[in-house]
């Protein structure tokens, strides 16, 4: 079993998260909506995201960190801000390549689901996953997510249009 810890992100993690997402974007054939060279947020913007998620009872940012403190995985639960969607959160999940296939993604997902269940605010968790990401789809199904539909040609990746699968978990 790999040696790592799960913890909630804090504002001081902002630069590490930006660097992590940049490395993920530059990875060939990555299973994200990021393209090579993309850096989605500035340091200030990433810090604000972390602070806002800390304050919201329907949001969470979890990190998987190795013994040296390097971020090896990231999971987010981004809750809606408007009344009509406040009970819904969108999930994001990623791992560094060398840490995949070791159960960390499943543990990150369980952490998000446990948080959602315990908080009492969230009733629906949803995500998009590339239809080619069989490992991810397997994990989500195992945790109770069901398929809701396919978004044809949603992303342009590696020179081709690719499909995303919409999945959701309804909480009791």
What is the tens place of the pLDDT at every residue in 33-67? 777 777 777 899 999 999 999 999 999 999 999 99
According to the model, what pLDDT value does residue 32 have? 77
When comparing pLDDT for 158 and 84, which is higher?
Answer: 84
| Per-residue confidence (pLDDT) for residue 11, from 0 to 100 | 97
Percent of all residues in the chain with a pLDDT value above 90, rounded to a whole number: 79
Per-residue pLDDT band for 31 (boundaries 50, 70, 90) equals: confident
Which CATH superfamily groups domain 5-122?
A: Gcn5-related N-acetyltransferase (GNAT) (3.40.630.30)
Q: For the chain, what is the mean pLDDT?
A: 92
Q: Confidence class of residue 157 from pLDDT cuts 50, 70 and 90? A: confident
**How do the domains of the chain map onto residue ranges?**
5-122
Q: Phi/psi zone of residue 120: left (φ > 0), alpha (ψ -120 to 50 degrees), beta? A: left
pLDDT score of 24: 83
User: What tens digit of pLDDT does each residue of 58-95 get?
Assistant: 999 999 999 999 999 999 999 999 999 999 999 999 99
Mean pLDDT, residues 113-126: 96
Distance, in Å, from the CA atom of 146 to the CA atom of 102, rounded to the nearest integer, reads: 23
- pLDDT at 123 > cutoff 70: yes
């Amino acid at each position: 079993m790999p040696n790592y810890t799960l913890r909630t992100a804090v504002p001081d993690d902002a630069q590490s998260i930006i660097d992590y997402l940049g490395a993920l974007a530059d990875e060939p054939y990555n299973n994200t909506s990021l393209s090579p060279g993309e850096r989605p947020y500035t340091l200030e913007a990433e810090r604000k995201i972390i602070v806002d998620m800390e304050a919201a009872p329907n949001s969470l940012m979890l990190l998987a960190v190795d013994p040296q403190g390097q971020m090896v995985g990231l999971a987010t639960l981004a809750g809606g801000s408007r009344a009509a969607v406040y009970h819904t959160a969108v999930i994001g999940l990623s791992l560094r390549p060398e840490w995949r296939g070791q159960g960390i993604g499943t543990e990150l997902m369980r952490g998000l689901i446990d948080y959602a269940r315990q908080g009492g605010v969230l009733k629906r968790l949803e995500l998009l996953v590339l239809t080619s990401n069989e490992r991810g789809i397997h994990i989500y199904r195992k945790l109770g997510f069901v398929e809701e539909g396919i978004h044809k040609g949603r992303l342009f990746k590696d020179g081709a249009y690719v499909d995303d699968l919409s999945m959701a978990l309804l909480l009791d």
